[in-house]
A and B are shown apart, each in its own frame.
Chain A
Amino acid sequence: NAGVTQTPKFQVLKTGQSMTLQCAQDMNHEYMSWYRQDPGMGLRLIHYSVGAGITDQGEVPNGYNVSRSTTEDFPLRLLSAAPSQTSVYFCASSGLAGVPPNGDTQYFGPGTRLTVL
């Protein structure tokens, strides 16, 4: 199993450009999520999904869109990049709660470092 994969690893954008961060998992997990990590802020939830066709907003959803057309993939779209979106982005997946042995433990991808100039 590859686990959770993210592409690209690094990206530089200009203000106003759009792009899609890719996330895929091969563990048949229902739950997938996107976080951003900023210094002193910890991990903040952007959007999440509990299954194909179902998405919802997290703490900081503005400026980002998501879709979940398959169980495996959960892309994050930046519609019009802004310098405030400079961050490291992590995708994570988990089974839904109550399924042993790991319950809803999240498995994280390697991250995408995004810089918006």
Chain B
Amino acid sequence: ILNVEQSPQSLHVQEGDSTNFTCSFPSSNFYALHWYRWETAKSPEALFVMTLNGDEKKKGRISATLNTKEGYSYLYIKGSQPEDSATYLCAFRASGTYKYIFGTGTRLKVLA
């Protein structure tokens, strides 16, 4: 059974703080790692698709890095804003399969 873990489970930060979360996944048979942003009462929305070791992706104040050899990805938010409050999910896909395994998410609350 493939295991995808995210840490921390939740955190509260002050507006303007920078923060980061971790997604850990199996380091063998890697195909892709996705990050999603999930606001309360809405559906998950894709942030990044990462496929190559060393990938760095950026969208505004949010960026992500990928290390497939050691099996982790970091998501960074610079200068957090209240509208960044959401649950951030990662999803791992192994090569040779179409199955996505989601982590349980990191719930972020940005305090104004």
Contacts and interface: CB of A to CB of B under 8 A. Distances in A.
Interface of A: 31, 33, 35, 40-45, 48, 50, 56, 58-59, 90, 97, 102-111
Given A56-B98, A97-B32, A104-B93, A42 B103 contact: yes
A109 B43 contact: yes
Given A102-B46, A109-B43, A44 B32 contact: no
Given A43-B89, A97-B31, A97-B32, A105 B102 contact: no
A42 B104 contact: yes
Contacts of A97: 31-32
Per DSSP, chain B at the interface is strand
Nearest to B4: A42
Measured as residues with beta carbon below 8 angstroms from the partner, the interface class of chain B is: 20 to 34
A45 B49 contact: no
B51 to A, nearest CB: 7
A9 to B, nearest CB: 11
Interface in B23-78: 31-32, 34, 36, 42-46, 49, 51
A42 B102 contact: yes
Interface in B72-100: 89, 91, 93, 98-100
Given A90-B43, A107-B46, A33 B100 contact: yes
B43 A108 contact: yes
Contacts of B102: 35, 42-45
